[in-house]
């Protein structure tokens, strides 16, 4: 795909299907059901009213169990425009200086942080200290140390910390996981993850190390990192990595253009992945086992995901990912549901530990051991 952002205009309203581990026959349910459609509604404040927040906001209009009740932005005109569009009263609109006052707002349960990566750490900790649950976009921080501090702050405050892993609720992805859990692929031997696109505006924050924490790996590459873990169903124990940079003007020091990385798992399975900001049409997962295979292509774009296995095409209907995600997160926060693939802060820290190790392996040229 040219860009994950190529899908901005392709979101479509659809029904909702959220399988959970706690529902034994969830896989056989019709697509237009949520686990607990009559349960309480999650009241969400969106922080950072940029491009991705607009996607989440649009998708949430089709949620059964989540609604927008608060807004946080540094741009007054956005607060006014979004407040009118989504019927959020002025008393529930905040800027980055005063959003700690959400502690006194009973109409907000959780804050969804969609600001640049470098801001997540401090903003999530402030949300936790205000007594509200937090959802952080991925990566949840610049490194594992920051991520763990966020987890600890939320734990100390008695609130939940979730990460915006939308693919953990995507129907075709979950069908591959179901098949793997049912041993339909046999022993897993290999995973390949290709995540990349040619990035545009050289002045955007994603190419600013201070805001992004890196380059392609911190944006698109995390999909292959996380995907390797949930597709193989093991935690990697070692990593090797190599960085390639062809444009040192666009991709300055500390901003990676292309990284290839390899992961090893306790069972002997291996993963070979690529993350890039300089190649289009890279959005593919491939899982190989002794008895079968699964391929998703596109695998992580906004949709529709397409896939096949050795048994044929995957035919689960496309559902807007963020609609699924937010209804599922309502169940997690309000009902204590357990998703098929974890989306909590601990999950986010594991990905950050791998990212730290990939960067270290690029610098050293050596294999780095992992202990997740």
Residue 185: closest CA among 311, 305, 342: 311
Q: Report pLDDT digits (tens) over 272-288.
A: 999 999 999 999 999 99
Q: Report pLDDT digits (tens) over 24-73.
A: 333 333 344 588 888 999 999 999 999 999 999 999 999 999 999 999 99
Asked if residue 304 and residue 183 are part of one domain, the reply reads: yes
Asked if residue 187 and residue 158 are part of one domain, the reply reads: no
Asked if residue 92 and residue 239 are part of one domain, the reply reads: no
Residue 335 lies in a domain: no
Indicate the pLDDT class of residue 257, thresholds 50, 70 and 90: very high
**Residues in a beta bridge with 273:** 193, 261
The pLDDT value recorded for residue 26 is: 34
70 neighbors 102 (Cβ within 8 angstroms): yes
Asked if residue 178 and residue 159 are part of one domain, the reply reads: no
Q: Is the pLDDT of residue 298 over 80?
A: yes
The structure tokens listed for 208 are 């600013």
Cα 116 from Cα 84, distance rounded (Å) = 25
Residue 35 lies in a domain: yes
Asked if residue 288 and residue 177 are part of one domain, the reply reads: yes
Q: What is the DSSP string of 318-356?
A: P--HHHHHHHHHHIIIII---BSS--BHHHHHHHHHHHH
Measured distance between the N- and C-terminal CA atoms of the chain, rounded to whole angstroms: 31
Residue 330 lies in a domain: no
Asked if residue 99 and residue 243 are part of one domain, the reply reads: no
Asked if residue 129 and residue 42 are part of one domain, the reply reads: yes
CATH number of the domain encompassing residue 279: 3.30.360.10
Residue 334 lies in a domain: no
Residue 322: closest CA among 196, 135, 142: 135
3-state secondary structure of 159: coil
Across 206-218, average pLDDT: 98
Asked if residue 15 and residue 116 are part of one domain, the reply reads: yes
How large is the C-alpha radius of gyration of the chain?
20
Residue 42: phi and psi, rounded to 5, are -80, 125
Residue 322 lies in a domain: no
Q: Which DSSP letter does residue 229 get?
A: H
Task: Tell me what percent of the residues of the chain surpass a pLDDT of 70.
Answer: 91
Distances (CA, A) of 298 to 14, 306, 308: 19, 6, 11
Q: Is the pLDDT of residue 223 over 70?
A: yes
What is the residue whose two structure tokens read 């995957």? 314
Q: What is the DSSP string of 133-153?
A: EEEEPSS-SSSHHHHHHHHHH
Indicate the pLDDT class of residue 303, thresholds 50, 70 and 90: confident
Asked if residue 160 and residue 79 are part of one domain, the reply reads: yes
Domain end call among 140, 166, 192: 166
Domain end call among 118, 136, 166: 166
**Overall domain count for the chain:** 2
Residue 347: closest CA among 135, 185, 170, 44: 135
Q: Report pLDDT digits (tens) over 1-36.
A: 343 434 333 333 333 333 444 333 333 333 445 888
* Torsion over CA: 251, 142, 353, 165 (sign): negative
Number of other CB atoms surrounding residue 216 within 10 Å: 28
- The H-assigned helical ranges of the chain are 51-60, 76-85, 117-129, 144-157, 171-181, 209-212, 216, 222-232, 321-330, 345-364
Asked if residue 187 and residue 162 are part of one domain, the reply reads: no
Residue 325 lies in a domain: no
Residue 193: closest CA among 260, 277, 254: 260
Q: Report pLDDT digits (tens) over 326-335.
A: 999 999 999 9
Strands 312-313 and 368-369: unpaired
Domain end call among 134, 166, 198: 166
Asked if residue 269 and residue 229 are part of one domain, the reply reads: yes
128 neighbors 157 (Cβ within 8 angstroms): yes
Number of other CB atoms surrounding residue 370 within 10 Å: 18
Domain span holding position 358: 171-317+343-369
Residue 79 lies in a domain: yes
274 neighbors 196 (Cβ within 8 angstroms): yes
Asked if residue 213 and residue 247 are part of one domain, the reply reads: yes
CATH number of the domain encompassing residue 96: 3.40.50.720
Helices vs strands, H then E, count in the chain: 10, 15
């Amino acid at each position: 795909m040219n860009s994950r952002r190529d899908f901005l205009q392709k979101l479509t309203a659809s029904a909702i299907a959220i399988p959970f581990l706690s529902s034994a026959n969830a896989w056989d349910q019709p697509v237009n059901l949520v686990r607990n459609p009559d349960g309480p509604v999650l009241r969400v404040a969106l922080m950072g009213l940029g491009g991705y927040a607009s996607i989440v906001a649009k998708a949430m209009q089709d949620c059964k169990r989540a609604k927008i009740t608060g807004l946080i932005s540094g741009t007054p005109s956005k607060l006014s425009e979004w407040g009118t569009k989504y019927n959020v009263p002025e008393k529930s609109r905040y800027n980055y200086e005063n959003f700690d006052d959400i502690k006194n707002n009973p109409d907000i349960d959780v804050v969804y942080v969609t600001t640049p990566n470098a801001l997540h750490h401090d903003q999530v900790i402030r949300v936790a200290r205000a007594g509200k649950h937090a959802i952080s976009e991925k990566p949840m921080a610049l490194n594992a140390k920051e991520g763990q501090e966020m987890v600890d702050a939320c734990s100390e405050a008695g609130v939940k910390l979730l990460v915006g892993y939308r693919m953990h609720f995507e129907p075709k992805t979950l069908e591959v996981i179901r098949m793997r859990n049912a041993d339909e692929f046999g022993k897993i031997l290999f995973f390949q993850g290709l995540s990349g696109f040619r990035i545009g505006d050289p002045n955007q924050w994603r190419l600013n190390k201070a805001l992004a924490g890196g380059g392609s790996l911190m944006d698109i590459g995390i999909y292959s990192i996380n995907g390797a873990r949930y597709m193989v169903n093991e935690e990697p124990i070692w990593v090797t990595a190599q960085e390639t940079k062809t444009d040192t003007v666009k991709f300055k020091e500390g901003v990676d253009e292309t990284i290839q990385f390899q992961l090893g798992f306790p069972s002997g399975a291996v993963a070979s992945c690529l993350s890039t900001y300089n190649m289009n049409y890279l959005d593919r997962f491939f899982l190989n086992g002794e008895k079968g295979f699964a391929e998703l292509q596109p695998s992580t774009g906004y949709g529709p995901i397409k896939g096949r296995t050795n048994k044929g095409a995957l035919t689960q209907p496309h559902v807007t990912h963020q609609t699924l995600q937010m209804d599922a997160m309502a169940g997690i926060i309000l009902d204590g549901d357990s998703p098929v693939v974890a989306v909590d802060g601990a999950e986010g820290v594991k990905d950050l530990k791998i990212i730290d190790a990939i960067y270290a392996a690029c610098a050293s040229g050596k294999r780095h051991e992992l202990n997740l």
